[in-house]
Amino acid sequence: MKLTVTSRNKTQFIDITSDIQNKIKAHGIENGLCFVFVPHTTAGITINENADPSVQSDMLNVFNTIIPWKLDYRHLEGNSPAHVKSSLVGASEIIAIENGQLVLGTWQGVYFCEFDGPRTRYVNIKFIKE
């Protein structure tokens, strides 16, 4: 199954935890694993703090600082920084499901990471039942 995610900025972290949780509920998964995969070369998936939104803006600030928009890139499409960020973050996460809930730490959320927006994107989700 897939989620549709619409980004509004060039780079943006979008919390998709509740969207994934809704899919778990809709499919009646009680225990198992949740595999989350982004089929894009300029986006990613990560798990990080969902309490203070400034963590996400700080992370984007770091990414945009260490991977500058202007450099001697050769890729003609002009979005090499987004490709680099995508590989650094990675395209997937695996999260346990217990009693119908994602097993995340108190302050953890699952984020879709947009690195070349704004665009409409997709996130693939697979469940493995225990």
Residue ranges binding Zn ion (CB under 5 A): 77, 79
Phi, psi of 106 (to 5 degrees): -50, -40
* Residue number with CB closer to Zn ion (11 or 79): 79
Question: Which lies closer to Zn ion via its Cβ, residue 23 or residue 83?
Answer: 83
Considering beta carbons, is residue 50 or 79 the nearer one to Zn ion?
79
Are the CB atoms for 7 and 115 separated by under 8 Å?
no
Q: How many CB atoms lie within 10 A of CB 3?
A: 17
CB of 34 or CB of 63, closer to Zn ion = 63
Which residue, chain included where needed, has tokens 């989620």?
3
* Tokens of residue 86, six digits: 């995508």
**44 bridge partner residues:** 113
* Minimum gap (Å) between residue 77 Cβ and Zn ion: 4
What are 99's two structure tokens? Answer: 């009693």
Tokens of 126: 């697979």
Q: How far is the CB of 75 from Zn ion (least distance, A)?
A: 5
Q: How far is the CB of 8 from Zn ion (least distance, A)?
A: 20
Q: Give min distance, CB of 7 to Zn ion, in A.
A: 16
Closest by CA to 24, choosing from 15, 12, 13, 36, is 36
